[in-house]
Structure 1
Amino acid sequence: MSNLFTTVKEKVQGKGISIVLPEGTDERILGAAERLAKEELVKPILVGNKEEISAKAASMNLTLAGVDIYDPATYEEMDAMVASFVERRKGKATEEDARKVLKDENYFGTMLVYMGKAQGLVSGAAHSTADTVRPALQIIKTKPGVTKTSGVFIMVREEEKYVFADCAINIAPNSQDLAEIGIESAKTAELFGIDPRVAMLSFSTKGSAKSPETEKVVEATRIAKEMAPELTLDGEFQFDAAFVPSVAEKKAPGSTIKGDANVFVFPSLEAGNIGYKIAQRLGNFEAVGPILQGLNMPVNDLSRGCNEEEVYKLALITAAQAL
């Protein structure tokens, strides 16, 4: 396991953080839950019928000691959960609506987090991104000062660690969005032992080109500096000016980023998604994520093609976000 996850494990070990894994009968989820509980890294909560989950685990020769199972059909505090959901949705759901919705494992699991029964949630092994993220946006919502959630990848190659954002959520972020993404990405970097130096990326460096697209990044940089003056953050940069010291010296000699950026904020989802995949495929970086950021409490989305190891790692990351 890379140093990245050694850092994360050290952060969460012994903290007693509970993470909901709503897809309780999925083999990958069960395998990861057993491992997390055995290693005393996370207290997993599975959602579903206890007999079905236990039978599935037994068929896989798994021991679920230290793993809690919550069944929406028999949950003793369902009345309180329904009332809390109706209040949270503020006129958008009746009690009858709530009882129907909370039969869904993702909504039920998200409410467990909202009501303090757990500190985070990981889903998506058998559900779409929308099925995972929608309950989080409706119930947990974004942090004060953050208007949208965003998705980052931690790019890892041996001892190298970088943060790429937003590579997963916002198709065409505006200047305010980009500023928030930069600030939240710096916080995510710190979770992984990265001292953040944030570069706001464009196809221009410090006014070398003028267009509405470059001005958007210039304005985002201004907003971010105003919102978080303590951050080492600058822009707008072409990637080489943010990453290569000799290029930075020529193109941006007065910047606080001197070719040593480690958090890269892309101007659009298109650019970010292409960028991380190039680093992954041509640069042989491991892409860890997407990690969702900007929510009041952490929720993360697995790929439906994930394996047990990826479930395990994302649960650890979610626990670290909850600290």
Structure 2
Amino acid sequence: MATVAPKNAVMERVWSMARKGQKRIVLPETEDERTLQAAEMIEKANLGRVILLGKEDEVRRKAKEAGANIDNIPVIDPEKYEKFEEYAQKLLEIRKGKIASIDDARNLLKNYLYFGVTMVKLDDADGMVAGAVNTSADVERPAFQIIKTAPGISIASAYFAMIVPDCPYGEKGFFLYADSGGHPNPTAEELADIAITTCMTMKNIFGVEEPRAAMLSYSTKGSASHPIVDKVIEATKIANKKRPDLLIDGELQGDAALVPEIGRKKAPGSPVAGRANILIFPDLNAGNIAYKLTERLAKAEAYGPLLQGLDKPVNDLSRGCKATDIVNVAAIVAVKAMVPYGKRD
């Protein structure tokens, strides 16, 4: 099965870094042929070491039916795994007060998402990718419960890495959209933290030296007045106070954020207007709608929702993803696992 190499310079850097790291990536959704095809592609592209979860005979049979060669990829059956009891005990400790008994812990670990996240938590894997089959809520729940947010991070959030073909804006068509898959209505304080975290993700995971985050609104620099605009203005002030070294500005309309001549006209003197490569949305409605419209109308590649702010990397997928999307998200997870926390998000 052929592996499609990235066409964008930013993702090319991600692939190059993933090849150097050779991190262990868990793919738990082996009931889906896209996961099995992606596993072969990751191995062929040398992006890392894949671990598949499931009953081995069944997984290998499905892979053959899907035309995927996984002969050299290990398949772990959670219930037969040598560390299953150790995992159950650790899970009982981690979820103390939330899980009543060791039997409850064992039952949770029969869920491949919980088992995969526990592998990552206990350093038997470096990251996990799921969401081709399961909902974002199902993927994120064990990550938040077991791995939790990293020290010093008040809120975990979700972003999409967007690659827009033939686009002069952003980072030659590369953008991060946040939060486009997590928090329905973040407060001003949370919105500020999302902007800061996304800037660090852009720099340390994707290798873009100058993240430029636009705090989006339907208003640019006071052109409209409303409480939902006030939230964006306040979030910008908080972000600038916390991290004056980062380029974060708002409130900006979409055209003022992206188009240089409009940015100069609507927000003269702004360090971000007309140059944004990160778009921070005021709420999940706006972020989710925008990423889906960009993906479909601009024929963009959309990777995510990718989680940031967790202590160890677990990333989500859209259930409409292709096998190649899983490959690219796995490469992102591998790179994230290589970067010491503190620099990572």
TM-score (ref. length: structure 1): 0.93
Q: Following TM superposition, by how much is the alpha carbon of 1:289 offset from its aligned partner in structure 2, in angstroms?
A: 2.3
Aligned length: 323
Deviation at 1:102, TM superposition (A): 0.7
Which residue matches 1:250? Answer: 265
Deviation at 1:105, TM superposition (A): 0.6
**What residue ranges of structure 1 are gaps of 5+ in the alignment?**
none
Aligned equivalent of 1:192? 206
How do 1:150-229 and structure 2 match up within 5 A?
150-156=157-163, 157-158=165-166, 159-190=172-203, 191-194=205-208, 195-229=210-244
Aligned residues: CA RMSD: 1.9
Matched residue, 2:114 = 107
- What is the aligned partner in structure 2 of residue 296 from structure 1? 311
Deviations 1:120-154 (A, max 9, x none): 11112222222211111101112233333222222
Q: Report 1:142-157 matches (<5 A).
A: 142-156=149-163, 157=165
In structure 2, C-alpha distance between the alignment counterparts of 1:60 and 1:205, rounded to whole Å = 50
Distance 1:201 1:304, change over 3 A: closer
Look up the equivalent residue of 2:16 and give its one-letter code.
E
1:59 to partner: Cα distance = 4.3
Please state if 1:87 is matched with 2:100: no
Answer yes or no: is the 8 Å Cα contact 1:28–1:307 preserved in 2. Answer: yes
Match of 1:64 in 2: 70
SS in 1 for 2:81: coil
SS at match of 2:125: coil
Q: Deviations over 1:146-173 (max 9, x none)?
A: 3332222222124421221111121111
1:285 is aligned to: 300
1:56-75, Cα deviation, whole Å (9 max, x unpaired) = 33445543344222211111
Are 2:36 and 1:30 equivalent residues in the alignment?
yes
Instruction: Tell whether 2:40 aligns with 1:19.
Output: no
Q: Work out which of the residue numbers 2, 25, 29 in structure 1 matches 2:7.
A: 2
Preserved CA contact (<8 Å) 1:106 1:135: yes
The letter for the 2-side match of 1:237 is: L
Residues 152 and 163, structure 1, Cα contact 8 Å, conserved in 2: yes
Inter-partner Cα distance in structure 1 for 2:216 and 2:122: 39
Among 255, 259, 276, the residue aligned to 1:261? 276
* Inter-partner Cα distance in structure 2 for 1:23 and 1:197: 35
Could you tell me whether the CA contact under 8 Å between 1:43 and 1:66 is conserved in 2? no
Per-residue CA deviation, residues 276-307 of structure 1 (Å, 9 max, x unaligned), is: 23333333433232222221112122233333
Q: How does 1:121-160 map to 2 (within 5 A)?
A: 121-156=128-163, 157-158=165-166, 159-160=172-173
Q: Give the corresponding residue for 1:48.
A: 54
Q: Deviations along 1:208-264, whole A, 9 cap, x unmatched?
A: 333211111111112212222221111111222222233333332232224211111
Secondary structure at the residue paired with 1:311? helix
**Alignment-mate amino acid for residue 7 of structure 2:** S
Checking the alignment, whether the CA contact within 8 Å between 1:218 and 1:235 is kept in structure 2 is: yes
Other structure's SS at 2:223 match: coil
3-state SS in 1 of match to 2:162:
strand
Overall identity of the aligned pairs, in % = 44
Is the CA contact (8 Å cut-off) linking 2:305 and 2:318 kept in structure 1? no
One-letter code aligned to 1:69: V
Distance 2:295 2:70 in 1: 35
Q: Is the 1:14–1:40 Cα contact (8 Å) retained in structure 2?
A: no
Structure 2, unaligned runs of 5 or more: 1-5, 167-171, 339-345
Partner Cα distance (1:14, 1:192) in 2: 15
Deviations 1:5-32 (A, max 9, x none): 3221111113120111012343221121
Letter in 1 for 2:207: G
Q: Take 1:308 and 1:246, find their aligned partners in 2: how far apart are those partners?
A: 39
Work out the CA distance in 1 between the residues paired with 2:161 and 2:329. Answer: 12
The corresponding residue for 1:275 is 290
**Structure-2-length-normalised TM-score:** 0.87
Secondary structure of the equivalent of 1:291? strand
For 1:307 and 1:258, locate their aligned partners in 2 and report how far apart those are by CA, in whole Å: 34
1:73 aligns to what SS in structure 2? Answer: helix
